[in-house]
Amino acid sequence: MTAGEWGRLAASRLIAADPIDAEADADWLLCEALGAGRGALARLDRVQLGERESASLAGWLARRESGEPLQYVLGYVEFMGIRFKCDGRALIPRMDTEALCEKAIAFLAERGGSRSALDLCAGGGAIGLAVKRALPSISVVLSDVDPRAISLARENAESLRLDAEFAVGDLFLPVAGRRFDAVLCNPPYVRSGDMASLPREVLAEPAIALDGGRDGMDFYRRVADGLPDFLAPSGAAFLEVGDGLADDVARMMGRVGEVSIYSDLSGARRVVAVYSGGG
């Protein structure tokens, strides 16, 4: 079978399973097997697939048809221009979250020196490690309640050759008694009642990283309660928020410090920042 024939067959099977992004996903899998960029697929249309390539593609296609996210199938995701290992141990980093990283990096860079950051609900570590990659002089703690997620974060730090500290436990508990110049957090914020209606690819991700309670606000309440004890003087927290939650989270964080709301690239109000020293 040629690459072009496989691509058309895979796209038709994926469309039958779930038409969203089916053709693009087929292209991604083909590129991975051939070690080629997507721009090269047209000239590789008549290339004959070898046994190893065919076997890999067959396994990947079956996994994708079953609803496993493309990033888990490929084993990696691109985030902030960095390739992170990605699998079922943690939530898949989304481009929306890059807005949080960019605001945190700008804040810490402006202050200079040896600053500290806590990546709370760190998952696979993409947020904290992206900030560390941009600002090598800062110290970063990656913390998550799920030891499986932290094991993935360790692997990402090792592969990227980035120094970081790792902690397992519920929210601020593992860093009791410490203060940080920046707290970075993408907490679970899906309403419990909405969990069952999520796309099947999202349902394949860890529920513990998605379910934010009845109104999606459980973790924001707990973060707001803890921040005064964990933010350094003139520190800041940067929190990702779900659609429609920005105003509620901003009001909640107002008791901690001065609050700003920032949009992601799509224009959605995605990041609530709270400045303990007034901004």
Please report, for the chain, the start and end positions of each structural domain, with discontinuous segments joined by +: 3-66, 91-275
pTM for this predicted structure: 0.93
Question: Given pLDDT bands bounded at 50, 70 and 90, which one contains residue 278?
Answer: low
> For the chain, how many helices (H) and strands (E)?
10, 9
- How many whole angstroms separate alpha carbon 267 and alpha carbon 236? 22
Q: Give the closest residue to 31 by CA, choosing from 9, 55, 50, 57.
A: 57
For residue range 182-240, list pLDDT tens digits in order.
999 999 999 999 999 999 999 999 999 999 999 999 999 999 999 999 999 999 999 99
Matching residue, tokens 């609803």:
67
Q: What pLDDT is stored for residue 117 in this prediction? A: 98
H-state helical runs in 112-255: 126-134, 147-160, 200-203, 218-230, 246-253
Superfamily of domain 91-275: Vaccinia Virus protein VP39 (3.40.50.150)
Name the helix (H) or strand (E) containing 15.
Answer: helix 3-17
- How many whole angstroms separate alpha carbon 81 and alpha carbon 71? 15
Matching residue, tokens 């992170």:
84
